[in-house]
Every structure is written in structure tokens, then in C-alpha cells.
Amino acid sequence: MNTKTNITSKFWSRYRNLVRTEMIPYQWKVLNDIAGIKIEKERLNDDGIPSEKSHAIENFKIAAGRTSGTHYGWTFQDSDVYKWLEAVAYSLREKMDPELEKKALETIDLIAEAQEDDGYLDTFYSILGINYRYQSLAGSHELYCMGHFIEAAVAYYEATGNEKVLAVAKKAADNINDNFGPEDGKIHGYDGHEEIEIGLLRLYHVTNDSKYLNLAKYFLMERGKNPDFFREQAEKYDGPDALSGIVKMPDTYFQNHKPILEQETAEGHAVRVVYMCTALADLAASTGDKEIYGACKRLWDDITKRRMYVTGGIGSTVIGESFTLDYDLPNDTMYCETCAAIGLIFFARQMLRIEPKAEYADVMERALYNCALAGMALDGKHFFYVNPLEVNPLKSLKDPTKSHVKPVRPSWLGCACCPPNLARLITSLDDYIYTENTDSILINQFIAGQTEFPGEDGVISITQSTDYPWDDSVELAIENSRDNDINIGVRIPAWADGYQLSVDGTADTKAPEDGYVYITVKGNTTAKISLKLDVSIKRYYANTAVSNDIGKVTIARGPFIYCIEGVDNGDNLNSISLPVDAQFEYEWDSELLNGVGVITTTGLKLVSNNPTLYSTEKPKEEQVQLKFIPYYAWANRGENEMLVWLHESH
């Protein structure tokens, strides 16, 4: 999409400014080890987690020969720098900032210096033993890191026209192409963590060079053909330890148990799955391959219809940061990694390129406004890795099975994949609002702003005026200066029980097609579309196959899932129930949590009469005032309990 968007949404402008003015500079300091903060381990008491410092920029300086020392951090430490650079690219696309550009250009120079003469780019092996490269792919993340670099490079090139960064990316991709593929003498394998496939496809889109598409396809189609691939490499390997223990994970962890086109369910590490699916869907969209699309659809359905939390989080267990089985969605031991929700948003975006179904945009919205956004504190400087739906801080502290479930966001994490992923998502939000097809434009997200879609015979301009996500009304001004008609598909969110739509003041009662109402705007004309959505507060129930949510209810308004916190509702939140006939009040509170819509009602709290552990005496019921806040804003007022699914009382 060759569009230009200016986001004016109050809600999103705050976040985008926050990322530009707080998060990106803060990350820069962290990457350079000058932030003066305490970096936390993802899991308490796990000695295997490097967390004293980031050292990410220093690794590049050592690899470039500017300084001496050794590599520190995860094998994928380089990717923190690349994701930062990608976020900077989008940020500069939105608003030029010479100081930030200078930092980016210096970083690009440093990366180019760290690149080997033949194009190979990975500080871990450049520092610790280049002869061992590509030989321990289960945990080395070499292709994962280069994939992130290629994504950053394409983004930077597209934002600024910088040829140097694109040349470095091509050189890296060419090195990979020289070393991997079906030909004799090349490695018949792939990275333990999918990502290079996404990068290569982006490189293909910007260069139009089919060798990058073919290489991405090779990696995707090769995965799972030889489930022993990582073990075979590990048996021969005697180089530096590149997360070698990971090879003992089950084949499903790497989506390596069978060829992707035969995979019926989403198995293993959740981020890997959705990154794989993102590339697979991009490939299907780019080639029109129906079989590949079928695989995308199967995995999409399994993830979103049987394995996704109501917040859009995915990954039910900390063990392997993985999916488990259909309908297994525990609320207090889950993983729901921020990166996984972001990856699901990437996947949804690619699926929208294949077919105009609002279910993709619905899931995108759910994951965006809930799980993904919860990954960052309102100050833009504290981050969650995992996003629970139920937290008791004492249990997190004392129960080892919950040591990954943090009750407050740390300043930074030893494994820092999530914060820069959020930064690149929020700064590139423009790319998720619309899907442009030959004769249609889908409006997937309601985000105030103005976008221009240039075409050969003119421009289509869309201006969205709305206070969404808080408000229920969206005004769309469409100007079609092309000769041809354009069909504007307005998404009707699945959560909206009702809506009213009018075009130039006249009610439009057409039924939505796959969740979009289409309005034709003739060539060289304009149209004003008004949409009003039913955002009344709704109760949601999980399928009864979800044993953890039986008898429970959660509430939502518009795209937001709500929760209760201890600071508003006292301790022992599980003793609270929501009466089936409770009436809700909704009020905007501009003073609270940077401005949120608050929901209040009367609930019931069970209180033991008897202090003994077990008693024949029934606890008494007390009426309590309940205050719900949007899930994304929890844990911004200190350490306390939080609960999304409440018992429902009759």
C-alpha cells in the first residue's frame, strides 16, 4: 500500500507521541546500557536468563571491531536493536526528527560495519566464532535476527529512501540465499524461530525480486519435512552454546512436527506460530496459492475459535511459551505474551489481503485494544511480557508455577522482545486501518485521521472523524478523484448488536457481507458516511468447553474488555460475583488512568462467618460497589489483584 496517513485519533495520538517521545528514546538508552534501570528476569529465580544489562549496541560495536569484549545476552539480542530501528522508521515516516534520524543513521552505519564481507549478519557468531554459523539453528536465531533486520531496513527505506540500509538487507538476504535452499551443497533447513520468512517477503515486495519470495517459500515449505533437522545439527555441533538446550523441546515447539500444509492445529511456541502464519498468509496473498491459503485458514480458525483468550491473548502455558490444546485457557498461569498478540495482529492483516472478512479485523481489534496494549504501562516505560487475566501478587511471588505472572510491569526485561515489538506496532498503526484492493477499500479499524490512496488515475482520500474507541459514532468523508468507482467496505464489528449507517444523510440498510457494508463512491464524486454503533455494555460467556470460565462472565464495551482491580474493589476478587441482573453505569473519568470509561455496578461478595479453613456454615453475601476499568489500563496504580472473568450469581 502506497498510502499516506495522518492519525489524529486522541486515543492513538497519545500512544504514538508516547512511543516517539518516551519509549523510543528510553529504549535507545536501554540498548546502550545508560538507562540506569533494573532489568528483571522474565521468570523469578531462573539463572539461565541474562538480565544484568542489554549490551545490544555494544555487541554490534564489538562485532564491528570498534571495541573489544565478548557477546552478552540472548542469541537474539540483535533483534532488540532492529525492532527499535523499525519503530524509528515508522516514527520518522509520521514526523521527521533530525536528532532521531541521526541516531538511526549511526545505527545503520554500525550494523553495516558489523556485517561480514559476504553479507552474513549476526553479532553472536561474528564475535564468538564465525565458522560455526548456521550450524545450530534450533536456538541460534540467526535467521530470526536477520529477518528483523530486513523488516527494519525495508521500513527505513520506505520511510526515508535510504539506499544504504536496503543494500545491507539485500546483502544479508543474498548470503542466506547462498547458504539455504533445495540445491546440493546448501543447508536443507530453517531457523528455529520463524521471522526470516516475513522479512524476505517484505524485501520481495519492495524490490520485486522473486528470489526473495522463493526463499521465503522454501523456508516455509521445508519446515517439518525432516523433524530431525535440528537434532541432526546439534549432534555435529561443537561451537559456542547457542541456546543449545532448546533442541530438546518437542518438535511442535518449532512447528517442525509435520509440513506446514498438513498442520491442522496451532502447536508449540505461540509467537513462532503466528509469525509463521503471517508469512504463510503473505505468501498466499502474494501468489494466490489456494493450498497455502487453506493452511492459513485452518490455523486461523484453530487459534481464534478455540485457543484465544477473550483479550486476544494466545499461548496457554509458560512451558515453551506455547499453545496447549483446544479450549484450554487458564486465566492465572497462561502466557499471553505481548509479542504473540502482536503476531496475531500481523497475521490478521495478511488474512485481510486474501479475503474481505471482518472476522480478521475483529480479532485484530480485540488483540490490539486489549492484550497488546496491556503490554505497556501508561508511562510508556514499563512493560509486561505475559498478560494474565487473573493475578494475585502473593501467588506470583510464592507459587513457582506463577513466577512468570508479574503483577506490575518491570522497567525492562532480560528477554526484551516485547517492548520494541509494541513500539513498532504502535508507530505503524496506519498500516492496519485499511486494506486496499483493486476496486475496494476496507475500513478495518476506526481510527480518526486522514489517508490518501494514490492511484494511476487519481487519489482516494478518506477522513475519519471519531472519538472511537470511546465514542459510538464514526464520520467518514470520502473523496474519489479517480475516474473509476470505488467500493468502500465499512466494517460492522461483531461485538455491535446493532448499528445505523447513512450515506449523505440517507439511511443505508444493506446487509453486511462478511461483516462489511459496501458503499460505492462513483468516480470524481464524494460521499459522507455516518456510522453509529451499539456500544452498550455487554456480558460475555466462554464456551462451556473452557473449564476455567464455567459459571463466569466478563464485561465489555465496544472493543474493550473490562476487569476489576484490587485498588478499586478490595482483596480476594474471586469472592466477588456479578449478579445476572446487575445494571451497569458508564462514566467517562478524565482524571483516571489518562482518561478511561469506567463501568460501575452493584455486586455480591462472599464473606466467611467462620475463620476455620472448612466449615459447614455457608459464607454470607454482602452487597459491594464494583468498579471496572478497561483491561489494557490495569496495573498502573501499584501492585494489586486483578480479575477479568468474574463469577456470575443468580
User: CA-based angle 487:488:492, to the nearest 5?
Assistant: 130
What is the spatial distance between Cα 554 and Cα 562, in angstroms, rounded to a whole number?
Answer: 7
What is the spatial distance between Cα 604 and Cα 506, in angstroms, rounded to a whole number?
Answer: 46
In the list ligand FUB, Zn ion, none, the entry touching 415 (Cβ below 5 to 8 angstroms by class) is ligand FUB
Exposure of 143 in the CB half-sphere (CA atoms within 13 A):
30
For residue 281, what is its C-alpha cell? 498468509
Q: Is 235 exposed, middle or buried (0-12, 13-18, 19+ CB in 10 A)?
A: exposed
**417 touches Zn ion (CB under 5 A):** yes
We find the least distance from the C-beta atom of residue 75 to ligand FUB, in angstroms, to be 8
We find the least distance from the C-beta atom of residue 338 to Zn ion, in angstroms, to be 5
Contact by Cβ (8 Å): 422, 413: no
**342 touches Zn ion (CB under 5 A):** no
We find the least distance from the C-beta atom of residue 417 to Zn ion, in angstroms, to be 3
Name which of 173 and 271 has its Cβ closer to ligand FUB: 271
**Which residues does the annotation mark as catalytic?**
321, 417
In the list ligand FUB, Zn ion, none, the entry touching 193 (Cβ below 5 to 8 angstroms by class) is ligand FUB
What is the spatial distance between Cα 206 and Cα 142, in angstroms, rounded to a whole number?
Answer: 22
Name the segment binding Zn ion (CB under 5 A); options: 150-158, 205-213, 413-421, 588-596.
413-421
We find the least distance from the C-beta atom of residue 42 to ligand FUB, in angstroms, to be 8
**423 touches Zn ion (CB under 5 A):** no
Alpha-carbon distances, residue 594 vs 74, 375, 453, 635 (angstroms): 35, 16, 33, 13
Contacting residues for 340 by C-beta, under 8 A, at least 6 apart: 270, 271, 274, 313, 314, 315, 321
Three-state DSSP class for residue 256 = coil
Contacting residues for 168 by C-beta, under 8 A, at least 6 apart: 108, 111, 112, 115, 121, 149, 153
Element (H, E) at 301: helix 290-306
In the list Zn ion, ligand FUB, none, the entry touching 273 (Cβ below 5 to 8 angstroms by class) is none
**114 touches Zn ion (CB under 5 A):** no
Residue type (1 letter), 556: A
Name which of 50 and 227 has its Cβ closer to Zn ion: 50
The site string for Zn ion over 278-317 (x = CB under 5 A, - otherwise) reads: ----------------------------------------
Closest CA to 385 of 420, 356, 361, 357: 420
Which residues of the shown chain bind ligand FUB in the complex (CB under 6 A)? 76, 193, 271, 321, 337, 339, 415, 417
Name which of 276 and 339 has its Cβ closer to Zn ion: 339
Give the interface size with Zn ion as a residue count (CB under 5 A): 4
Name which of 196 and 582 has its Cβ closer to Zn ion: 196
Q: Does the CA dihedral 175-27-12-481 come out positive or negative? A: negative
The order of strands in the sheet holding 486-491 is: 434-436, 440-443, 486-491, 516-521
What is the spatial distance between Cα 304 and Cα 454, in angstroms, rounded to a whole number?
Answer: 34
Q: Give the other-Cβ count within 10 Å of 547's Cβ.
A: 11
What are phi and psi for residue 450, nearest 5 degrees?
-130, 135
We find the least distance from the C-beta atom of residue 403 to Zn ion, in angstroms, to be 17
Name which of 76 and 584 has its Cβ closer to ligand FUB: 76
Residue nearest to ligand FUB (CB): 271
Name which of 243 and 418 has its Cβ closer to Zn ion: 418
In the list ligand FUB, Zn ion, none, the entry touching 15 (Cβ below 5 to 8 angstroms by class) is none
**418 touches Zn ion (CB under 5 A):** yes
We find the least distance from the C-beta atom of residue 559 to ligand FUB, in angstroms, to be 25
Contact by Cβ (8 Å): 307, 266: yes
Name which of 165 and 415 has its Cβ closer to ligand FUB: 415
- For 429-444, give the DSSP string: GGGGTEEE-SSEEEE-
Closest CA to 599 of 588, 585, 583, 581: 585
**372 touches Zn ion (CB under 5 A):** no
Name the segment binding Zn ion (CB under 5 A); options: 218-226, 280-288, 329-337, 587-595.
329-337
We find the least distance from the C-beta atom of residue 126 to ligand FUB, in angstroms, to be 19
Three-state DSSP class for residue 313 = coil
Residue type (1 letter), 150: I
What is the spatial distance between Cα 392 and Cα 404, in angstroms, rounded to a whole number?
Answer: 12
In the list Zn ion, ligand FUB, none, the entry touching 368 (Cβ below 5 to 8 angstroms by class) is none
Residue nearest to Zn ion (CB): 339
For residue 513, what is its C-alpha cell? 457481507
Name which of 193 and 202 has its Cβ closer to ligand FUB: 193
Contact by Cβ (8 Å): 564, 642: yes
Name which of 23 and 358 has its Cβ closer to Zn ion: 23
Name which of 122 and 337 has its Cβ closer to ligand FUB: 337
We find the least distance from the C-beta atom of residue 317 to ligand FUB, in angstroms, to be 12
We find the least distance from the C-beta atom of residue 488 to ligand FUB, in angstroms, to be 37
In the list Zn ion, ligand FUB, none, the entry touching 76 (Cβ below 5 to 8 angstroms by class) is ligand FUB
Q: Give the other-Cβ count within 10 Å of 48's Cβ.
A: 9
Longest dimension (CA), the chain: 79
Residue of the chain from 31, 63, 276, 339 that contacts Zn ion (CB under 5 A): 339
For residue 450, what is its C-alpha cell? 486522514
**270 touches Zn ion (CB under 5 A):** no
- For 611-627, give the DSSP string: -SSS-SSPPEEEEEEEE
Q: Does the CA dihedral 301-307-311-314 come out positive or negative? A: negative
We find the least distance from the C-beta atom of residue 343 to ligand FUB, in angstroms, to be 8
Closest CA to 126 of 110, 138, 147, 103: 110
In the list Zn ion, ligand FUB, none, the entry touching 155 (Cβ below 5 to 8 angstroms by class) is none
Closest CA to 378 of 569, 571, 563, 596: 596
Name which of 367 and 578 has its Cβ closer to ligand FUB: 367
What does the binding site for Zn ion look like in residue numbers (CB under 5 A)? Answer: 337, 339, 417-418
